[in-house]
């Protein structure tokens, strides 16, 4: 459905702005009026990472007058494969500040407002209230539900995008005219069921494909042209090079959103079973190092099991570990491979997947099984920094 323009036009464009945006101005559907609306628009981008990077750069290039950036993280070398708003010299810098500098290089006429903070229930409504449109490029379910609920409470539209490996999704949510995110995902997936990009990976260029579509939707909303993806979910498969669009309908029986909730509890990092299993069965990487030394001396005997995927195991590993992916624990195959006469020590990248595998092991009667908090990431950071991290 077509929607009215989200933003009133600015009073004028300067001569320099006319020169800069001339290729927009000669498009009849955009023209001077549309470009003035872009100039007057205030858009908040949540995250300056994989999706936020291309979104911010193209929003800036398009002439959006005010760009807000919500970001609290620092640039890491592993970001550079896809987060093209940052460069080699930005490693270790604030992502928000790095993004600001790149935006200014793309378009000095853009006013950049930094929010170098983690969005939470205490600040999200205040941060969102100063903007016309939200662009959500976050990568975790807790923040996505919070962004949705805050946007619903404030009556604001937002563009949502998601990426994983070779697939991306984009939609527009605005309860005033159509569905919201909870109509697409009424409940979060079970903890541990959907790996993050840090665990499952993402094709770098996929970020550009999805991020640019998100900006396209933002421009349509701001200027009132075309038909936004409101009530539609666009699914892109980079391997098949296919675009499919699915309809999203409002749930007529959904409870109205009137307040924010505890989103971490709502989504859960791990299942209740995993949390219970890990409560008194978690060791640190320094403890593991002591155990490995003792095993080398013949004073301790245990089997160290890496529950990551084979491609992760090729990147780095804890010496002496054997690979049994978490999926084999969920199907029960792993139980046939585990020794019955030795203690089992499980680890993954960060401790989430190994906690889920630990719950299976304990459920199968391995009462002395433990897992390693922080996983191989903590091992590389604290014990063996000569190995690469990811």
Which residue among 85, 134, 197, 274 is the active-site one?
197
Strands 232-237 and 167-173: antiparallel
Phi, psi of 3, rounded to the nearest 5 degrees: -125, 155
Could you tell me if 103 and 56 are in contact, meaning their C-beta atoms sit under 8 angstroms apart?
yes
Distance CA 145, CA 151 (A): 10
Query: At which residue do the structure tokens 């091992």 appear?
Result: 379
Distance CA 390, CA 78 (A): 6
Residue 215 DSSP SS3: helix
CA-wise closest residue to 173 among 187, 154, 188, 190: 154
Could you tell me if 308 and 323 are in contact, meaning their C-beta atoms sit under 8 angstroms apart?
yes
Long-range contacts formed by 111-118: CB under 8 A, 24+ apart: 111/65, 111/66, 111/67, 112/66, 112/67, 112/68, 112/69, 113/66, 113/67, 113/68, 113/69, 114/68, 114/69, 114/71, 115/44, 115/68, 115/69, 115/70, 115/71, 116/71, 116/72, 117/70, 117/72, 118/72
Give the DSSP letter of residue 10.
P
Q: What angle do CA 147, 151, 155 make, to 5 degrees?
A: 175
The question of whether 267 is a catalytic residue gets the answer: no
Query: At which residue do the structure tokens 């970020």 appear?
Result: 207
Distance CA 46, CA 282 (A): 34
The question of whether 197 is a catalytic residue gets the answer: yes
Which residue among 172, 338, 348, 352 is the active-site one?
348
**Residues labelled catalytic:** 197, 348
């Amino acid at each position: 459905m077509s929607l009215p323009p989200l933003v009133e036009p600015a009073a004028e464009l300067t001569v320099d702005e006319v020169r800069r945006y001339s290729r927009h101005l000669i498009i009849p559907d955009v023209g001077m009026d549309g470009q003035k609306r872009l100039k007057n628009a205030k858009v908040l981008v949540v995250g300056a990472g994989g999706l936020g990077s291309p979104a911010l750069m193209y929003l800036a290039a398009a002439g959006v007058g005010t760009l807000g950036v919500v970001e609290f993280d620092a640039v890491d070398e592993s970001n550079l494969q896809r987060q093209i708003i940052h460069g080699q010299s930005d490693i270790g810098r604030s992502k928000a500040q790095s993004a600001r500098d790149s935006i200014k290089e793309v378009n000095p006429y853009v006013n950049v407002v930094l929010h170098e903070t983690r969005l939470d229930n205490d600040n999200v409504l205040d941060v969102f209230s100063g903007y016309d449109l939200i662009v959500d490029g976050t990568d975790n379910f807790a923040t996505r539900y919070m962004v949705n609920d805050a946007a619903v409470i404030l009556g604001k539209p937002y563009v949502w995008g998601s990426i994983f490996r070779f697939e991306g999704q984009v939609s527009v949510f605005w309860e005033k005219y159509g569905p919201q995110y909870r109509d697409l995902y009424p409940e979060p997936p079970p903890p541990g069921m959907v790996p993050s990009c840090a665990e499952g990976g993402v094709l770098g260029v996929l970020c550009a494909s999805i991020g640019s579509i998100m900006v396209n939707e933002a421009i349509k909303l701001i200027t009132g042209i075309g038909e936004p993806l409101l009530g539609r979910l666009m699914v892109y498969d980079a391997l098949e090079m296919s675009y499919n669009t699915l309809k999203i309908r409002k749930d007529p029986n959904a409870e109205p959103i009137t307040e924010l909730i505890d989103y971490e509890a709502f989504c859960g990092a791990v299942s209740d079973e995993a949390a219970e299993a890990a409560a008194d069965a978690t060791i640190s990487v320094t403890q593991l190092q002591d155990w490995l030394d003792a095993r080398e001396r013949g004073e301790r005997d245990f089997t160290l099991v890496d529950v990551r995927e084979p491609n992760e195991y090729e990147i780095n590993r804890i010496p002496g570990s054997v690979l049994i992916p978490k999926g084999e624990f969920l199907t029960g195959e792993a139980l046939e491979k585990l020794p019955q006469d030795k203690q089992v020590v499980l680890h993954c990248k960060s401790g989430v997947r190994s906690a889920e595998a630990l719950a299976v092991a304990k459920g199968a009667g391995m009462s002395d099984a433990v897992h390693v908090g922080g996983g191989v990431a903590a091992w590389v950071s604290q014990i063996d920094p000569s190995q690469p991290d990811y």
